[in-house]
Structure 1
């Protein structure tokens, strides 16, 4: 029997509907309150292949034309937020590690992402990938 309140993919420990699901729902008045919440919701969107949400939360100045769905067989394994830093009232960074497995090989994405707040809404701008 399916779980009534599945855990959120972002690893917060909260139910999806009470966590990233409320941002994915599309209600314009429900926007991630800070860069870390947006980054977590974007990770969950990658897990759930919500490419429209990823596009809508990517800043127009750096947004790719197309966002491809995850390749078949990719399994997201977890997210660790290492730090969330606020630079000023409209800029923040979030350092994270996202783990996945594809074609039998484990992967780690370690990134420090940049976010900007415009018109009361946080957007992902870009990020620096950390080497192992």
Structure 2
């Protein structure tokens, strides 16, 4: 059986890449790894992971049902990480919407490490 490449575009198989973060067996080591794993969570419709990895200060702004609806209504095609610092990541996520039209989400995200874990704080969109 052919191993599935990770949704995040790392060229590593999913089991050895983002799956270990999504299933909680490993903590993400960097903000970029969290960004990549969150993209994989959208691609696999894992709203629980997306809520859990959102910083408590902005979590109330991220409704689990809305996240799940958005992740399921789109077909996630590709992630491009454009640049990153220790706690910011600029990326483009490409997806087909529910009308099968190609869309692009361009974001500058801010992350924070707290108690040894990385969290998504917020983002600005282009």
In 2: Cα distance, 1:97 partner to 1:53 partner: 20
RMSD over equivalenced CA pairs, Å: 1.4
The answer to whether structure 1 residue 106 and structure 2 residue 106 are counterparts is: no
Give secondary structure in 2 for the equivalent of 1:76. Answer: strand
C-alpha distance 54-105 of structure 1, shift in aligned 2 (>3 A): same
**Aligned runs of 1:38-117 on 2, under 5 Å?**
38-63=34-59, 64=61, 66-67=63-64, 68=66, 69-71=68-70, 72-86=72-86, 92-102=87-97, 103-117=99-113
TM, length-normalised to structure 1: 0.86
C-alpha distance 65-14 of structure 1, shift in aligned 2 (>3 A): closer
**Greater CA drift, 113-122 or 70-79:** 70-79
Tell me how many residue pairs correspond in the alignment.
121
Work out which of the two has the higher radius of gyration on C-alpha atoms and give 1 or 2. Answer: 1
TM, length-normalised to structure 2: 0.90
The answer to whether structure 1 residue 31 and structure 2 residue 24 are counterparts is: no
> After superposition, what is the alpha-carbon deviation per residue over 1:41-86, rounded to whole angstroms, capped at 9, x for unaligned?
0000000000000011000110135222145552111000001112
Higher strand share: 1
In 2: Cα distance, 1:128 partner to 1:66 partner: 18
Higher helix share: 2
